[in-house]
């Protein structure tokens, strides 16, 4: 009897581990389109409601506690913050949506910046849209999805703060989230579930980013 075939091992968890074990440094913050760097490498962006945990996740991915500034004050990130990932790619921390402690004019300017970035950035491989797992998809998230659908920008939902849900609640939230994305044309049909505090899903995110970089390079 012949030996059963074994599936080849996925190389990307190890590739991702090595990628994020290397250098990752803040490059620049862009408040205007003409400040953006050349499109010479893939870009992986992080979006989400204000205070959803974008900066905490960037720090968890890179193993650096203060690479991205975290704050309990919603609306702290007010520009596109670029991080150089070992010269292979840029990670982009986008302004939080849905709330900002800033004048209306500034909020409108950030909104225009984000819309233009999504529509005109050919090097943008994917936007990871962070959703607080305790609350699920809200109307303001659906508005962001529609914006990316219209721009034909690939995006993938990442549930954050998973440690604050019980096991049964986690599975239900993931299923509910997938159902909410089912008819979205630009949504990647897989949900990543994470906790920056407990490092849940961090290795999987590193692997997903490493795979994206390879595909776009």
Residue 25 in tokens: 């440094």
Arithmetic mean of pLDDT, 100-125: 81
173: CATH: 3.40.50.300
Give yes or no for a contact between 196 and 60, defined as CB atoms under 8 angstroms apart.
yes
Tell me, yes or no, whether 113 lies in a domain: yes
Q: Is residue 121 part of a domain?
A: yes
- In angstroms, the CA 180 to CA 183 distance is 8
Band (81; pLDDT cuts 50, 70, 90): very high
- The pLDDT tens digits for 167-217 are 999 999 999 999 999 999 999 999 999 999 999 999 999 999 999 999 997
What tokens were used for 169?
């609640």
Whether 2 is covered by a domain: the verdict is no
Full residue range of the structural domain in which residue 184 is found: 12-216
Of 110-124, 128-142, 143-157, 164-178, minimum mean pLDDT range: 110-124
Q: Would you give the DSSP letter of residue 164?
A: G
Span 154-172, average pLDDT:
96
6 assigned to some structural domain: no
In total, how many domains does the chain have?
1
Closest CA to 67 of 79, 78, 80, 81: 81
Residue 67: predicted pLDDT: 76
The token pair that represents 48 in the structure block: 């989400």
- Rounded to two decimals, the pTM is 0.89
């Amino acid at each position: 009897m012949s030996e059963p075939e074994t599936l080849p091992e996925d190389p990307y968890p190890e590739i991702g581990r090595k990628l994020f074990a290397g250098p990752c440094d803040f490059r620049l913050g862009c408040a205007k389109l003409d400040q953006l760097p050349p499109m010479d490498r893939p870009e992986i962006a992080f979006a989400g409601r204000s205070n959803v945990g974008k900066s905490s996740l960037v720090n968890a991915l890179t193993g650096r506690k203060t690479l991205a500034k975290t704050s309990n004050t919603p609306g702290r990130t007010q520009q596109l913050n670029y991080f150089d990932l070992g010269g292979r790619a840029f990670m982009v921390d986008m302004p939080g949506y849905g709330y900002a402690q800033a004048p209306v004019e500034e909020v409108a300017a950030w909104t225009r910046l984000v819309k233009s970035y999504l529509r005109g950035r050919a090097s943008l491989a994917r936007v990871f849209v962070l959703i607080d797992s305790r609350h699920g998809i809200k109307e303001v998230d659906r508005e962001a999805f529609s914006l990316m659908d219209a721009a034909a920008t690939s995006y993938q939902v990442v549930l954050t703060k998973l440690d604050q849900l019980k096991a049964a609640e986690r599975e239900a939230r993931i299923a509910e989230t997938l159902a909410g994305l089912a008819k979205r044309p630009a949504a990647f049909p897989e949900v990543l579930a994470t906790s920056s505090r407990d490092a849940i899903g961090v290795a999987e995110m590193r692997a997903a980013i490493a795979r994206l970089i390879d595909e776009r390079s």
